[in-house]
Amino acid sequence: MEALLLLEDSRESHLWQVYHEGLQNFLSFREGMALSAVWPIPLEQIREFLVVMESQDLPPTKIITYMEGLSFISKMVDHPDPLPDPLICFMISRLKRRTRRSNDEYSPVTIEVLRSLLGTLESVCRSPYECMLFRAIFTVAFFGVLRIEEIVANHQNIAQPELLYLSNLQLTEAPKQQGKYQQFHCHKHNSTLAATTWCHWLS
C-alpha cells in the first residue's frame, strides 16, 4: 500500500486508482480461495488470478493493467517481478492479441449511419459528379451487402476476380401496381435489389 501511495501523491492518480482496484481484487481472490497471504506473491497465485479474471469476462485491458499494478507493487518493495514468468508472459500476450482484435473490429453500418454519410458528401466532395459517384457506391454497397474487396480495386490494370463487374449486374424495370420500379440483379450473389427500397429507407 505504501508503494501505491507514491502514485497517489503524484500526477498518476488515475493509475493509482486502477492499481489499487487490482490489488483489492487480488486480495479478495486470495482470501476467497483460501490461499496463503504471503509476499512475494507466489507465481501460482498470479496464474490462478489470471484464469479467474478471464473466466469473469473482464476486459483484457483491465486484466493487463491489474497485472502491471501487481508488478509495480512487487518491484517497489524489492520483491521479484512476477510478469517475466514464461507462463504468465504467454497469458498476457494472448490478452494483448485479444485487445488488438477488438480494436480492429468495425461497428456495423446502420441505415442511420448511411444517411449521415450521404448527407456529408456535398461538403467534402469536389464536384457534383464526385458526390453522385460516392452516393451511388455507398448505397449499392449497403443494400447489396457488398464487401470492400468487391467494390474497391487494389490494382489499376490487373484482373481481380473478387471485384464486382458491370457484367455481374443487370438493371431492369419490373411492373408494379402503381407505376414501375427499377431492379438490380446481381448474378454473382444471385440476389435482386429494388431501387424503390433505397428511396424508402433514405427519405
- Go through the chain and tell me how many residues it has: 203
Lookup result for grid cell 512476477:
82
* pTM for this entry: 0.47
Contacts of 177 (CB under 8 A, 6+ apart): none
Over its C-alpha atoms, the chain yields an Rg (Å, rounded) of 28
Out of 7-16, 22-31, 73-82, 108-117, the most confident range is: 22-31
DSSP 8-state class, residue 164: P
Q: Which residues pair with 102 in a beta bridge?
A: none
Q: Which residues pair with 194 in a beta bridge?
A: 183
Give pLDDT, residue 101.
55
Instruction: Tell me if residue 148 falls in helix, strand or coil.
Output: helix
Give pLDDT, residue 195.
45
pLDDT of 117-167, one tens digit each? 888 888 878 888 988 888 888 887 887 777 766 777 666 677 677 777 767
CA torsion sign, 23 to 40 to 83 to 4?
positive
Distance CA 196, CA 194 (A): 5
pLDDT of 161-200, one tens digit each? 777 776 766 666 655 554 444 555 555 555 545 444 444 4
Residue 127: count of CB within 10 angstroms of its CB:
8
The domains found in the chain, sorted by start residue, are: 2-104 (1.10.150.130), 111-202 (no CATH)
pLDDT of 73-103, one tens digit each? 888 888 889 889 888 998 888 888 877 655 4
